Structure 1
Amino acid sequence: MDRYVIKNGKRLRYGYTTGSCATAASKAAAMMLLEGKAIEKVKIDTPKGWELDLKVHDISIDATGASCSIIKDGGDDPDATNGLKIYSQVSWRNDGEIHIDGGIGVGRITKGGLPVPVGSAAINPVPRQMIEREVRSVIGEGRGVDIKIYVPRGEEVGAKTFNPRLGIVGGISILGTSGIVEPMSEEAFKESLSIELSMLRNEGVEKLVMVPGNYGRDLARDHFRIDEKHLFKISNFVGFMLDEALAKGIKKILIIGHMGKIVKVAGGIFHTHSKIADGRLEILTAYLGLMGASREDLKKIMESNTTEEAIQSIKEFGYDDVFLTLAEKISEKCRQRTYHKVEIGTVVFSMEEGVLGVCPIGEELLEEFKNE
């Protein structure tokens, strides 16, 4: 992929996700199934708005279907899946439906709390939408196809990821909310965030809505109707960005974060990547214990597969108030970090339940940002 970003004086290349690879392979296979001849390249659109033009490999066309592969390219942010061949096999079906499943090397969901149901292939919602949209654009309405995504080395590579801990067995996950892999050299990335914040301050900005990632950004923009000029993506660097905000004179910060990531701050963890620390369930369990939850209920939370699953259990137990308590504690920890010189509020949410808790200062800041 011939796109670059300059971070800390380094020229770093973007890549594309396993979701984009599966989409491109599926579209190419659908084109070859329809036309009966091989193609060398295929173009797809990504949620980021960038078009990808990818080379097609391992072409096979016969009377029953067509298949091919796309090679995963992580750019200058290589991960365990970099260089893998992501295959798609497409065949006709008798109705007008598009059915997507995973084959060898694509993990299977065995525990709840993930974005796709137990028993399904680990192909996340956004890649599924991308695949269906691009394939439908090829075959048109009225036709149906079966699509099988498979990764011959997926089981080997999946064992080296967090998938086994999440109950995803047998392979990798097909992921990506933007379709694009952004270079993530940590120090370079932090430096670029600092520069971006300095530029905002030079423009007179004194208050921000900080979001760890795309989901928080989308909630702020689409649900709370907050102007994008206030939105600042901080990735996992909560503490670093609070320090930078204090040093650069930011007066007010609203944090909008998914419970699975931002809850760590309630336990004093200010770098939220799981490789640094992962006390999500421990923190949830501790606060539920303070509220009087039973030993049996606490045990169930500690044994949850994901934060989303734990949230469902908490709601079943009737301890919804813990979400407000956690939002207040996150804000308190952040204010302590900034020596109480920055006004800070917090909104916590989940993918399945939406907004879970908003602390009092968070409510005030929401109104302030919405009214601008």
Structure 2
Amino acid sequence: MVKASSGYTLPVWVAAAACAAVRALDRGEEGPAAPFEGLQALELLEPPGVQQVPVEAAAPIGPGRALGISRCDPGAGLDLTRGLAVWVVASWIQPSPADAACFVLEPGEGVGVHGASGDLCASAYARAVLEANLRPLVGAGRAVRLRLVLPEGRALALRTSNAAFGVVDGLALIGTQAEVQRSAAPDQLQACLAALAARTATAGFAGDLVLVIGENGLDLAPSLGLPGELLLKAGNWLGPVLVAAGEAGVCRLLLFGYHGKLIKLAGGIFHTHHHLADGRAEVLTALAALEGLSGAALARLHAAATVEAALSELAASDPALAQRLERRIATAIEQRSMAYLARYGSFPMIVGAALFDRRRQLRVCGPQGQKLLEAFRHPLG
């Protein structure tokens, strides 16, 4: 059994509630319910090992249906999922082909879906941890429908960047591992630095690195042709990671992230968690003023709810100016990153920037970013 060093991501709490619901479904069919078990033994997969995860309740709720309830505990630190109730309603369905998943996951109230398709937004890890833990319970020749409900999910989603990536109606079931990573905490920085050290120490390391900011960037990068072996996920401690990359011998580094996040670097803000520093509106309007925007138009830009909204509004009224401003943002990110590095030493490292938007489309590259993107997409040899 593994010992958790932090709280768990949302997929783990969903898996716990789902397993409890399926067990209650079996109890309901077998007659009088057995005593409720408040802990579910889950295989976490990432990291490997079994951990006891608490659930609040589980019981049959009608013929062929059962409900399992867990409550998110993300551990210490700020996290909007703290105390979030997770409801999973389980019911038997006709089995799928033998090689298919043993469950069908349906979005209920408060669960995020892709706006374009209506499909539930769930990471590969979320589905894998469900499959690993449900398969022994469901058994051969059976399958189960799981309807997921997050009663507070719709309201909480308004405090996230979900909508910026096309996810609507609630919280996305994302996460690539069991334990919560603290993007603003020192231990998250140490984990990133350790991963960087391991990457640069390998025999095949050629000096190239793509520093990806956030889960959405990590998912998008391969679709743009960026090789997986170059990708390193970074949290909010971008300044120290840049310096560590230079010290470790990285020669070409591409910053790849959402423009609403990376714009902070254009203002010299190298710790990007919003609890510690923001300034996005101020950086955006300063750069827009340098491009010639003034008066009421500049005030509207500053008042926009997000960087995405500000750029979209500007593009509607003056497309050419909006394009120039986006290029200036990307160029400023590169220039300020190089200036930041120069404060800590002399490193033969080129830094480029590639920014994507809420539609998960590549939006703009800086001069160096364009060169690095093409070089990394089409390596020699």
TM-score clears 0.5 = yes
Summarize the alignment of residues 234-313 of structure 1 with structure 2, pairs less than 5 Å apart: 234-293=234-293, 295-313=295-313
Q: Which residue of structure 2 lines up, in the alignment, with residue 359 of structure 1?
A: 366
> Does 1:72 pair with 2:68?
no
Q: Which deviates the most, 265-274 or 239-248?
A: 239-248
CA 330–28 in structure 1, closer or farther in 2 if over 3 Å, else same: same
Q: Which residue of structure 2 lines up, in the alignment, with residue 211 of structure 1?
A: 212
Q: Are the equivalent residues in 2 in contact too, given 1:21–1:86 (CA < 8 A)? A: no
Q: Are the equivalent residues in 1 in contact too, given 2:212–2:255 (CA < 8 A)? A: yes
> d(CA) in 1 for partners of 2:26 and 2:82?
28
SS of the equivalent of 1:150 reads coil
SS of the equivalent of 1:366 reads helix
In the TM superposition, residue 238 of structure 1 has moved relative to its aligned partner by 1.4
> d(CA) in 1 for partners of 2:286 and 2:23?
54
Q: Which amino acid aligns with 1:61?
A: P
Q: Which residue of structure 1 lines up, in the alignment, with residue 355 of structure 2?
A: 348
Q: Which residue of structure 1 lines up, in the alignment, with residue 10 of structure 2?
A: 18
Q: Which amino acid aligns with 2:251?
A: K
SS of the equivalent of 1:181 reads coil
Summarize the alignment of residues 1-372 of structure 1 with structure 2, pairs less than 5 Å apart: 2-3=2-3, 13-26=5-18, 28-29=20-21, 32-33=24-25, 36=28, 40=37, 54-63=53-62, 65-75=65-75, 77-80=76-79, 84=83, 86-90=85-89, 99-102=106-109, 125-126=121-122, 130=126, 147-150=148-151, 163=159, 173=171, 176-184=174-182, 186-203=185-202, 205=205, 206-228=207-229, 230-293=230-293, 295-317=295-317, 318=319, 319-339=322-342, 341=347, 342-370=349-377, 371-372=379-380
> d(CA) in 1 for partners of 2:19 and 2:301?
42
CA 243–134 in structure 1, closer or farther in 2 if over 3 Å, else same: closer
Task: Note the residue ranges of structure 1 that are not aligned, 5 or more in a row.
Answer: 5-12, 108-113
Q: Are the equivalent residues in 2 in contact too, given 1:33–1:90 (CA < 8 A)? A: no
> d(CA) in 1 for partners of 2:90 and 2:187?
45
In the TM superposition, residue 267 of structure 1 has moved relative to its aligned partner by 0.8
Kindly tell me the number of residue pairs found equivalent between the two proteins: 340
Q: Which residue of structure 1 lines up, in the alignment, with residue 97 of structure 2?
A: none
CA 26–199 in structure 1, closer or farther in 2 if over 3 Å, else same: closer
Q: Are the equivalent residues in 2 in contact too, given 1:304–1:310 (CA < 8 A)? A: yes
In the TM superposition, residue 273 of structure 1 has moved relative to its aligned partner by 0.9
Q: Name the TM-score, length of structure 1 as normaliser.
A: 0.70
Which digits, 9 at most, give the CA deviation of each residue in 1:216-251, with x for residues without a partner? 2333333223241x2222211111122223334432
> What is the aligned-residue identity percentage?
22
Task: Note the residue ranges of structure 2 that are not aligned, 5 or more in a row.
Answer: 94-103, 164-169
Q: Are the equivalent residues in 2 in contact too, given 1:20–1:46 (CA < 8 A)? A: yes
Please, what is the CA RMSD of the aligned residues?
4.6
SS of the equivalent of 2:108 reads strand
> d(CA) in 2 for partners of 1:125 and 1:213?
16
